[in-house]
Chains A and B, each alone.
Chain A
Amino acid sequence: MARTRSPGSSGYLVFLIPGLVLSVAIVVVPLLMTIGTSFTRWQGVGTPVWIGLDNYVRLAHDPSFWASFQHIALLIIAMAIVPTLIGLVLAAVLFDFVAVAFGNRIAGVFRSGFYLPQILPVAISGVVWGWILHPSYGALNSLLAGAGVPSLAHNWLGDPRYALYSVMAIMIWMQIGYPIVVFMAGLQRIDPELYEAAAIDGATWRQRFTAISVHLLKPEIYVVLVTTTIAALKIFGQIFVLTRGGPGTATLVPSYFAYKSFFEKAEVGYGSAMSTVLTLIILMLTLVFLRLQARGERLR
């Protein structure tokens, strides 16, 4: 088939049709339905009843709603901020100390080891930790008893005073590998001569770390912070397996709140309102991030 069309941009739209049709059917229409449902009272059967903004007013007065976003704020610290900070230090140490002093192979072994928790399905890491932290037969409490400090043993996930902090610790463990891998890859871009020049000028490791590594890794830091923050906002599997949001509402999060409203309480309108709020927050974060990224690219 000999076609002698000049290279233009016509005729490509046809390739987009399957993707667009499927996206509209699976994402756009359901999303609009959820937003619409959020203005109704509906139990999943029968006809939804239009109630305007009542669900949103109810959310604003629901302590569980505020609690779930407070928990998310702490989970953002555990999933985004702490892993980014620790990841920066570990990546820099592995890149310009371990790799230099002991070789790339050893640095690679450390990187893979720290990355290991990342490869587990979240539900499986929930199973692992649920068992380790189990109050009666868990490994942690018997380790503490064996070390002669049984008074430190707690019902880690079952006591509302500790449950959220336990989940936070688990999340740090899970997340740490991702920033390390991204930052170590980013550090490859840095011109080794820059480091050497700094070393010759007598810069300490800390000065090089803050002045060179952190500065040049800014694009990666943005990406890691935004993707992990969004992951924290969406957290579900770990909570479902570890605590089901409990005890009480001690570890309740927005997505589990919505899940319960949909499938346990049959309050579909209310769950839809919660989902809509969460969606708006994530979309706003994405927009801010895209703008920052575009500005960063223009500056470079």
Chain B
Amino acid sequence: MTAGAGHHYRRGWVRHAVLVGLVIALLLTISPFLVVAINAVKTPADYAAHGPIALPQSLSLTGIVEFWQRVDFTRKLLNSLVVSGTVAVLGVALSVLNAYALGIGKVRGRIWFLFVFLAANLLPQEAVVYPLYYLSKSLHLYNSLTAVIIIFTVIQSAFGTYLLSSVYDHFPREILEAAEIDGAGRWRILVRIVVPLSWQTVSVLFAFFFIWTWNEFFLPLVFLISNENQTVPVALGVLQGQRFMDATTTSASALIGILPAVVFFLIFQRTLIRGVTAGAVK
């Protein structure tokens, strides 16, 4: 570094004005989270007396516990985990298979296949929802996690195929040829060479699929109608405006909806930021 771009900011007040502005913007951005958090741990009496802005007089978890039991939140968490986890694993597997054929195998008509996969991912879900609803009823898959898992596996892997194909496009040919000369078959090359060498992108896809599926609302809303099958966003989303949802209960419900998302974000943070970047330049 020579002169350094920093020398332009030697005027102290500009530095600090910009920083103060950014801090205010950041506080505004995270204030909804803070407001939810402080009200989720209030008693209804405390809320009635001091309103939503005051800090809680004492830490009360009864609102959260009562809501948790009332909606059987453990069950919702398990449903969401099962759906998102299975979709992430199956979706990645399907993406790898597709991308192996399209990116490395360069099968004929690959541009068209890629367009179909891209379109399948971008399609508004309401363009397929009614036939899927109708078909799943006749196959007795309606109101089951299985139907949702199959549908999201296909939708997510459509994106995965698109992204992974462009990575496999540039896969070093020498490595593939060397493996073929050593007598490795196509399966062996895929499992032993291609997947391990593209593990970074594959793990990005896994994180994406998990979180996207966790966040999905429309199809689970249509397909999972009974209480015991609902996922977290559907359960919390349809409860809005119910009679028992008073102020503290609502913020308690918001908080337990936020917490898993924050946990996943902390787990996947680095993978995700890398992934948002990879998705953008492809």
Q: State whether B8 touches A205 (Cβ < 8 A).
A: yes
- Residues A22 and B154 in contact, CB atoms below 8 Å apart: yes
Are A23 and B1 in contact, CB atoms less than 8 angstroms apart?
Answer: no
Contacts A34-B128, A223-B280, A286-B122 given; does A3 touch B35 at CB 8 Å: no
Chain B residue nearest in CB terms to A268: B130
Q: Output the least CB separation between A245 and chain B (Å).
A: 14
CB neighbours of B215 from chain A (8 A): 120-122
Q: Report chain A residues within 8 Å CB of B45.
A: none
A93 and B240 contacting across the interface, CB-CB below 8 Å: no
Within 8 A of A (CB), among B87-145: 94, 97-98, 100-102, 104-108, 113, 115-120, 122-135
User: Count of A-B contacts with CB under 8 A?
Assistant: 306
A85 at the binding interface (Cβ < 8 Å): no
Q: Is B71 an interface residue (CB 8 A)?
A: no
| Interchain nearest-CB distance for B213 vs A (Å) | 10
Cβ contacts under 8 Å, B8 to chain A? 199, 205
Contact A127 B254 (CB under 8 A): yes
Chain B residue numbers with a CB within 8 Å of A94 are 22
| In the bound complex, CA of A275 to CA of B131 (Å) | 12
| Contact indicator B236/A13 (Cβ below 8 Å) | no
Given contacts A130-B240, A142-B52, A278-B127, 19 further A-B contacts (CB under 8 A): A15-B190, A19-B157, A22-B94, A22-B153, A23-B158, A27-B155, A97-B18, A122-B233, A123-B237, A124-B232, A124-B258, A132-B35, A139-B39, A139-B53, A196-B2, A220-B281, A241-B240, A282-B122, A283-B123
B interface residue numbers (CB < 8 A to A): 1-9, 15, 18-19, 22, 25-26, 29-30, 32-33, 35-36, 39, 47, 51-53, 94, 97-98, 100-102, 104-108, 113, 115-120, 122-135, 150-151, 153-155, 157-158, 161, 173, 176-177, 180, 183, 185-186, 190, 211, 214-218, 221-222, 232-234, 236-237, 240, 246-247, 250-251, 253-254, 257-258, 261-262, 264-265, 269, 273, 276-277, 279-281
